[in-house]
Amino acid sequence: MRVRVGIIGYGKMGEIRARSAQGIAGIEIRSIYDAEPARIPRLRGAPSLHAIIEDPEIDAVFVCLPNFLNKQTTIAALRAGKHVFCEKPPAFTAAEVEEIMEVERASGRILMYGFNHRHHAAVAVMKQAIDSGKYGRMLWMRGRYGKSVDSDYLTTWRSKKDLAGGGILIDQGIHMLDLFLHLSGARFDEIHALVSSRYWNMPGIEDNVFALMRDNVTGLEVSFHSTMTQWRHLFSLEVFLERGYLVLNGLKTSSGTYGAEELSIATNRSTAPAATWESEARQIFDNDISWDSEAAHFFAAIKGNGKIEFGTSAQALSVMCLVDEIYNRDRRISNVLYDKLSAE
Note the pLDDT tens digit of each residue in 264-305.
999 886 666 565 666 788 999 999 999 999 999 999 999 998
pLDDT of 94 higher than 90: yes
Residue 153 has pLDDT above 80, yes or no: yes
Q: Using alpha carbons, list the distances in angstroms from residue 249 to 21, 47, 260, 267, 290.
A: 29, 43, 8, 18, 16
Residue 329 is predicted with a pLDDT of: 80
Residue 170 C-beta-side C-alpha neighbours within 13 Å: 29
pTM: 0.93
Angle among Cα 101, 157, 89 to the nearest 5 degrees reads 25
pLDDT at residue 275, rounded to an integer? 59
pLDDT in tens, 215-225: 999 999 999 99
In three-state secondary structure terms, 152 is: helix
Of 94-98, 101-105, 198-202, 340-344, give the lowest mean pLDDT range.
340-344
User: Beta strands 190-196 and 60-63: pairing type?
Assistant: unpaired
Q: Percent of the chain having pLDDT more than 70? A: 92
Is 293 in a helix, a strand, or coil? helix
Query: What pLDDT does residue 170 have?
Result: 97
The yes-or-no verdict on residue 341 having pLDDT over 60 is no
**pLDDT reading at 140 higher than 80:** yes
Least confident of 7-11, 106-110, 161-165, 194-198: 194-198
DSSP string for residues in 12-32: HHHHHHHHHHHTSTTEEEEEE
**Which neighbouring-strand residues pair with 224?**
143, 211
Q: What is the pLDDT of residue 95?
A: 97
Between CA 15 and CA 26 the distance in angstroms is 19
With beta carbons less than 8 A apart as the criterion, state whether 50 and 24 touch.
no
Return the pLDDT at 151. Answer: 87
In the chain, alpha helices (H): 12-22, 49-53, 70-79, 94-107, 121-132, 161-164, 168, 174-184, 290-302, 313-343
Structural domains in the chain, CATH included, are 3-113 (3.40.50.720), 118-288+323-328 (3.30.360.10)
The pLDDT > 90 percentage for the chain reads 82
Average pLDDT over residues 154-175: 96
Mean pLDDT confidence for 138-158? 94
Segment 191-215 mean pLDDT: 93
| Residue 27: closest CA among 52, 60, 55 | 60
DSSP 167: S
